[in-house]
């Protein structure tokens, strides 16, 4: 195998910046690798990947030194257009990469720009290879998130590049669709011999699909190893807030003499590794001791339908009846398009129920205006930028109380402290980092002092550190408000929620504790959910009820040594 | 009251959004929609210029009827017609008031109505033409007329951005309402409430623009990666892009029938002069 990408001693500084983003990066990547690029926030992962297709130094003309060789040519001597035949790049915010109205138009955009007479064949080939030829006549804006992502990949694949770079492929997808994307990428690597490079921090996916791992730190390549060896550099990883796959964490936690060479990475590995262990039974009733507190909101036969482009009425929510109680931590789960966001919008008054309804406090969901309902309910948009309607975080925080001519300054002061927003108070929300934006948007939501706080996909596209902070904040929320969180993040469900509502095609198909839900395989399978790795492992090992966290898993191991180890 | 309720139910932001999207993206299976966009563009130029060469009321009426029939055939969205009707009624009313206060007589009014009629013909013709072309066809037609590719791409990209902008706008407005406070009493003719909404609609504009502007950073980079700037200087790329435009029997038929009708309107105007 010959290296297809070689960097030696690459330094780079963005124009106008004071510090180097790349600080002597040196690496070599072989053809046919499936490489995961990992690293902490601001370590230079994305910048590094942008050198592979010549965006750096040819499009961003900052201070550059070093050499980049891709497929035998010196990148700094090539134009970005020439490089796009060799390297395809899919952005983290891939939606903005799609620029034509329909899927086929968009996928044929690049070949057409280069004047290829067979642009249509190329586009169709790319669509077929990714298995989405049935979408070719759809409008881009009607696609779901997962479909858009596949369309974006097809758009760069149409030029048939040797190398594909994908920045955070699964950040905004539910686990089911995330796996699908990775399976398609794996096909491209194995059957078509492409080199695939992903920027990723979900180590479960890395373990399942990648062949190599590369750790970036402070603009340098710290090391590059085959995947098993890479994920075993636990000290290096944890220092940068990257956690090994849950099954590996479990093996590490065990007080059993271990041979690191066969540490499990995937569920299949772990099944062999932990085979024959006995587990302490746990009464599933123990979760239920929590007494039901005062009811804060109720829904009765709430239905909602909307008009589609072809003038048909589509039922989005179908006769939903339930109630919420003080102090509950509710997770609302289901695949994309199951109706989670629509339900939350009905509770804020943004959507008016077409029949049925319900009430919170003295306000009804059918009649109450957004302004009235907002005294009880707060909704935090999936995209935090939607929450920034003033020119500084401070004004955003006080917007609610000022419009009501109330003085909440001591309450707001407390929020600022607990969300650590002191430094960004005077800044515009759009200029903050991802984690700061999320914290600020939650504080803004809480500033209305709601009884019911709703969050839409709060952990999507957050790095591990910010995600950890967010969960800590959510955990302290019980005393303040009832939280209703729509999420794909099953680890959040397992470790945080006290109640799960599963939605499927506008109906509630399950309502109970997370433990019960993961115990009833048919519930989550039917709803297209994928439990966290540790839950799947416990199910495979016949543990009843399944352990919800790594700590629980290891604490329930009875004395003895697993078969696989000795 | 029931009518008001029904109106409120069907006439909301969601509806406006759907209608605009339908106008931009709906299936173009109408008669005009199947024609080569270049023919439609030329037809539009001619029909919207013709009224300015005459003061003959019969010809103008004839043109108005002719363009309206074509607009009907292209099944223009009720929203667009509603907007046009509002502006026409507003225009006529305003002319009436001006003439009345300036002490003019019926003649003054008639000549101003002629001007309005000319503008109406232009607007109806543009509705008929642009509602029957999707953005792609429009941008291809512009490109083939030799207009720079940057501009013709901007047209089609603008359409692509339309749903994104509208979603963003709607969400920001909702964000304002979710934390704002509507006036307790709505006042005479609900003017307080209307004022409250107008303020939101204006204020929501800025966050929308900022959010969208931020997103386009990726778009600009991606344009480069996907060879757009390369295509600007490539004749081959332009040829491939326009290879699907062809003038066939249907187009010739349309040209013939249109010329015939326009000639007949002018002949009629010659004989019956008002």
In a domain, A395, yes or no: yes
Q: Which residue has the higher pLDDT, A451 or A563?
A: A451
What pLDDT is recorded for position A27? Answer: 94
Out of A466-470, A560-564, B56-60, which region has the weakest mean confidence (pLDDT)?
Answer: A560-564
Cβ of residue A292 closer than 8 Å to a chain B Cβ: no
Q: What digits encode the pLDDT tens for the residues B202-227?
A: 999 999 999 888 888 888 888 888 88
pLDDT in tens, A249-274: 888 887 665 566 678 889 988 888 88
* A496 within a domain of the structure (yes/no): yes
A285 is a domain residue: no
Q: Which of A213, A162, A165 is nearest to A192 (CA)?
A: A162
Residues 381..410 of A with a Cβ closer than 8 Å to B: which?
A: 381, 385-389, 399-400, 403-404
In a domain, A287, yes or no: no
Residue A1 pLDDT class (50, 70, 90 cuts) = low
Residue A561 has pLDDT above 60, yes or no: no
User: What string of H, E and C letters represents the secondary structure of B116-139?
Assistant: HHHHHHHHHHHHHHHHCCCHHHHH
Top pLDDT among A215 and A173 is at A215
In a domain, A304, yes or no: yes
Mean pLDDT confidence for A227-247: 89
Of A82-91, A311-320, B127-136, highest mean pLDDT: A82-91
pLDDT computed for residue A566 by the predictor: 40
What is the mean pLDDT of the segment spanning A366-380?
90
Instruction: Report the chain B residue with the minimal C-alpha distance to residue A82.
Output: B227
pLDDT of residue A261: 66
Query: Higher confidence at residue B259 or residue A335?
Result: B259
Q: Where is A224: in which H helix or E strand?
A: strand A220-226
Q: What is the DSSP letter of A407?
A: -
**Overall average pLDDT of the A12-17 stretch:** 88
| Contact state of B207 with A388 under an 8 Å Cβ cutoff | yes
Which parts of chain B fold into alpha helices (H)?
Answer: 2-10, 13-25, 37-49, 57-73, 78-101, 106-131, 135-144, 149-179, 191-203, 205-225, 228-232, 235-241, 249-271
Residue A74 placed within a domain: yes
Quick: pLDDT tens for A452-508: 999 998 887 777 778 888 888 888 877 788 999 999 889 899 989 999 999 998 999
* pLDDT score, position A438: 87
DSSP B50-104: GGGG---HHHHHHHHHHHHHHHHHTT--HHHHHHHHHHHHHHHHHHHHHHHHTT-
pLDDT band at B1 (very low <50, low <70, confident <90, very high): very low
Say if residue A515 is in the same domain as residue A558.
no
Give residue B93's pLDDT.
84
CB contact under 8 A, A430 and B159: no
Average pLDDT of every residue of chain B:
83
Distance separating alpha carbons of residues A227 and A203, to the nearest angstrom: 10
Start-to-end Cα distance in chain A: 36
Of B14, B221, B240, the CB nearest to A115: B240
Asked if B178 lies within 8 A of A139 by C-beta distance, the reply is no
Residues of A in contact with B241 (CB under 8 A): 112
Judge if A238 and A271 occupy the same domain: no
User: Chain A closest CA to B208's CA: distance in Å?
Assistant: 9
**Nearest CA of chain A to the CA of B44: how many Å?**
24
> Which residues lie closer than 8 Å to B264 by C-beta, 6 or more apart?
none
Is the pLDDT assigned to residue A124 strictly greater than 90?
yes
Distance, in Å, from the CA atom of A275 to the CA atom of B131, rounded to the nearest integer, reads: 67
Helix (H, G, I), strand (E, B) or coil at A34: strand
Note the pLDDT of residue A227.
93
For residues A539 and B113, the model is more confident at: A539
pLDDT at A308 over 80: no
Pair (A560, A502) in one structural domain: no
Q: Within an 8 Å CB–CB cutoff, is residue A293 touching chain B? A: no
Q: Is the peptide bond before A57 cis (omega within 30 degrees of 0)?
A: yes
pLDDT of residue B76: 77
Nearest to A429 by CA among A442, A418, A417: A442
CA distance B163 to B151: 20
Looking at the fold, whether A131 and A157 belong to one and the same domain comes out as yes
Both A468 and A543 in a single domain?
Answer: no
Q: What is the mean pLDDT of residues A18-26?
A: 91
Same domain, A356 and A216: no
A430 and B14 within 8 Å at the Cβ level: the answer is no
> Strand runs (DSSP E) across A71-154, as ranges?
73-74, 87-90
* Whether residues A508 and A546 fall in one domain: no
Q: Do residues A49 and A61 share a domain?
A: yes
- Residue A303: which residues within 8 A CB-CB, separation 6 or more? A315, A317, A318, A319, A320, A353, A354, A355, A356
- As a whole-number percent, the residues of chain B with pLDDT over 70 amount to 92
Cβ–Cβ below 8 Å for A306 and B14:
yes
- Let me know if A372 is exposed, middle or buried by CB neighbors in 10 A (0-12, 13-18, 19+): middle
Confidence grade of residue B137 (pLDDT, cut at 50, 70, 90): confident
The pLDDT value recorded for residue A193 is: 93
**B156-185: pLDDT as tens digits:** 888 778 878 888 898 999 999 998 888 888
Coil, strand or helix: which one is A73?
A: strand
Residue B228 pLDDT > 60 = yes
- As a whole-number percent, the residues of chain A with pLDDT over 90 amount to 43
Whichever domain contains A494, its CATH number is 3.40.50.300
Probe site for chain B from A101, A110, A122, A139 (most B CB atoms < 10 A): A101
- Number of A to B CB contacts under 8 A, please give it: 151
Residues A194 and A315 in one domain: no
Each residue's pLDDT tens digit, B184-202: 887 788 888 889 989 999 9
Q: From CA A533, how far away is CA A565, in angstroms rounded?
A: 20
pLDDT digits (tens, 9 = 90+) for B233-259: 888 888 888 888 888 888 899 999 999
Question: Smallest CA–CA separation between A335 and chain B, in Å?
Answer: 22
Look at A81 and B163 and tell me if their CB atoms are within 8 Å: no
Q: State percent of chain B over pLDDT 90.
A: 15
Q: Tell me whether residue A407 is in a domain.
A: yes
Domain hosting A158: range is: 3-244
Residues 115-154 of A with CB under 8 A from B: 115-117, 119, 139-141
Q: What is the pLDDT of residue A183?
A: 94
B228–A113 C-beta distance less than 8 A: yes
pLDDT of res. B2 = 55
A309: pLDDT strictly greater than 70: no
Contact A451, A377 (CB under 8 A): yes
> What's the rounded mean pLDDT across residues B140-149?
88
Residue A93 sits at the chain B interface (C-beta within 8 Å): yes
Interface of A with B in 425-484 (CB under 8 A): 428, 430, 444, 448
Report the pLDDT value the prediction gives residue B10, as an integer from 0 to 100: 57
Q: Are residues A544 and A509 in the same domain?
A: no
Residues A314, A167 share a domain: no
Number of domains in chain A: 3
Q: Per the domain annotation, does A408 fall within a domain?
A: yes
Q: Phi/psi class of residue B130: alpha, beta or left (left: φ > 0; alpha: ψ in -120 to 50)?
A: alpha
Q: What is the pLDDT of residue B27?
A: 60
Distance separating alpha carbons of residues A335 and A117, to the nearest angstrom? 40
Contact across the interface for B26 and A309, Cβ inside 8 Å = yes
**Across A153-162, A310-319, A459-468, B173-182, least confident range:** A459-468
Task: Give the pLDDT of residue A564.
Answer: 47
Higher-pLDDT residue of A312 and B254 is B254
pLDDT number for residue A214: 96
Tokens 């002597």 sit at which residue?
A24
Give the chain A residue whose CA is nearest to the CA of B154.
A99
The answer on A96 and A206 residing in a single domain is: yes
Angle, vertex CA A471, rays to CA A466 and CA A475, nearest 5:
150
Which residues of chain B does A369 touch, with a Cβ-Cβ cutoff of 8 Å?
A: 177, 182
B177·A371 Cβ contact <8 A: yes
Quick check: B237 and A379 CB within 8 A?
no
Q: Which of B179, B214, B215 lies nearest to residue A403, judging by beta carbons?
A: B179
Contact flag B160-A101 (C-beta cutoff 8 Å): yes
Distance CA A64, CA A62 (A): 6
Minimum distance, in Å, between the CA of residue A280 and any CA atom of chain B? 49
Rounded-to-integer distance, Cα B184 and Cα A337, Å: 37
With a cut of 50, say whether residue A84 has pLDDT above it: yes
Q: Look up residue A563 and give its two tokens.
A: 């078969």
- The CA distance from A187 to A194, in Å, is 9
């Amino acid at each position: 195998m010959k290296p297809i990408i070689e960097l030696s001693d690459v330094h780079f500084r963005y124009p106008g910046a004071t510090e180097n983003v790349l600080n002597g990066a040196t690496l070599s990547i072989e053809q046919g690798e499936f490489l995961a690029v990992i690293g902490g926030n601001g370590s230079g992962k994305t910048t590094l990947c942008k050198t592979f297709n010549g965006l750096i130094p040819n499009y961003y003309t900052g201070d550059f030194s070093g050499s980049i060789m891709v497929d035998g040519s010196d990148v700094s001597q090539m134009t970005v257009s020439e490089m796009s035949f060799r390297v395809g790049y899919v952005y983290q915010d891939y939606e903005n990469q799609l620029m034509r109205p329909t899927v086929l138009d968009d996928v044929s955009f690049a070949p057409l720009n280069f004047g290829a007479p067979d642009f249509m064949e190329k586009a169709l080939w790319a669509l077929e290879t990714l298995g989405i030829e049935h979408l070719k006549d759809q409008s881009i804006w009607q696609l779901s998130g997962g479909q858009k992502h596949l369309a974006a990949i097809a758009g760069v694949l149409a030029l048939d590049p040797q190398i594909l770079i994908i920045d955070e492929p699964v950040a905004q997808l539910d686990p089911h669709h995330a796996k699908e994307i990775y399976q398609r990428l794996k096909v491209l690597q194995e059957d078509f011999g492409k080199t695939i490079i992903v920027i990723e921090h979900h180590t479960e996916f890395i373990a399942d699909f990648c062949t190599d791992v590369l750790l970036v730190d402070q603009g340098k390549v710290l090391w590059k190893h085959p995947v098993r060896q890479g994920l075993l550099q636990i000290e290096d990883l944890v220092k940068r807030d990257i956690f090994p796959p849950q099954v590996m964490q479990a093996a590490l936690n065990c007080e059993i003499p271990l041979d690191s060479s066969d540490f499990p990475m995937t569920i299949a590995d772990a099944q062999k590794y932990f085979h024959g262990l006995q587990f302490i039974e746990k009464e599933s009733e123990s979760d239920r001791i929590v007494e039901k507190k005062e009811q804060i909101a109720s829904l009765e036969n709430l239905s909602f339908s909307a008009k589609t482009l072809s003038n048909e009425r589509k039922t989005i929510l179908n006769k939903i009846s339930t109630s919420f109680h003080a102090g509950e931590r509710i997770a609302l789960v289901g695949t994309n398009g199951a109706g989670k966001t629509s339900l939350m919008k009905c509770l804020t008054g943004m959507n008016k129920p077409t029949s049925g309804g319900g009430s919170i406090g003295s306000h009804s969901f059918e009649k109450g205006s957004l302004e009235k309902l907002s005294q009880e309910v707060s909704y935090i948009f999936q995209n935090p930028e939607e929450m920034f309607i003033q020119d500084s975080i401070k004004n955003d925080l006080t917007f609610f109380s000022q419009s009501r001519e109330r003085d909440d300054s001591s309450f707001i002061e407390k929020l600022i402290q607990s969300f650590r927003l002191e430094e960004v108070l005077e800044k515009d929300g759009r200029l903050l980092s991802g984690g700061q934006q999320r914290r600020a948007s939650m504080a803004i939501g809480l500033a209305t002092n709601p009884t019911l706080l709703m969050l839409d996909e709060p952990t999507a596209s957050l790095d591990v550190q910010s995600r950890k902070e967010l969960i800590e904040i959510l955990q302290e929320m019980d005393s303040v408000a009832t939280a209703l969180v729509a999420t794909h993040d099953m680890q959040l469900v397992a470790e945080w929620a006290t109640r799960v509502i599963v939605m499927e095609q506008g109906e509630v198909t399950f309502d109970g504790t997370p433990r019960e839900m993961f115990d009833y395989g048919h519930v989550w399978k039917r709803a297209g959910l994928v439990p966290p790795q540790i839950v799947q492992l416990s199910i495979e090992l016949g543990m009843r009820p399944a352990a919800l966290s790594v700590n629980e898993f290891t604490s329930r191991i009875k004395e003895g040594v697993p078969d696989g180890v000795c | 009251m029931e009518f008001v309720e029904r109106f409120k139910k069907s006439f909301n932001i969601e509806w406006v959004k759907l209608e605009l999207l339908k106008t931009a993206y709906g299936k173009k299976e109408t008669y005009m929609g199947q024609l080569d966009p270049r023919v439609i563009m030329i037809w539009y130029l001619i029909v919207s210029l013709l009224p300015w060469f005459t003061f003959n009321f019969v010809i103008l009426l004839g043109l108005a009827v002719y363009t309206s029939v074509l607009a009907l055939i292209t099944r223009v969205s009720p929203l667009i017609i509603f907007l046009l009707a509002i502006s026409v009624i507003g225009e006529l009313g305003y002319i009436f008031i001006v003439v009345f206060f300036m002490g003019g007589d019926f003649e003054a009014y008639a000549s101003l109505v002629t001007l309005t009629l000319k503008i109406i013909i232009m607007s109806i013709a543009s509705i008929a033409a642009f509602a029957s072309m999707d953005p792609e066809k429009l941008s291809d037609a512009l490109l083939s007329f030799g207009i720079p590719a940057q501009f013709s791409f901007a047209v089609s990209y603008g359409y692509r951005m339309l749903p994104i902008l509208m979603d963003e706008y709607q969400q920001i407005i909702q964000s304002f309402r979710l934390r704002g406070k509507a006036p307790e009493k709505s006042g005479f003719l609900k003017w307080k409430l209307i004022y409250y909404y107008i303020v939101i609609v204006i204020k929501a504009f800025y966050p929308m623009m900022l959010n969208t502007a931020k997103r386009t950073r990726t778009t600009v980079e991606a344009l480069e990666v996907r060879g757009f700037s390369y295509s600007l200087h490539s004749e081959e790329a332009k040829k491939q892009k326009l290879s699907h435009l062809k003038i066939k029997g249907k187009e010739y038929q349309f040209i013939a029938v249109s010329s015939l009708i326009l000639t007949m309107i002018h002949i009629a105007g010659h004989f019956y002069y008002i």
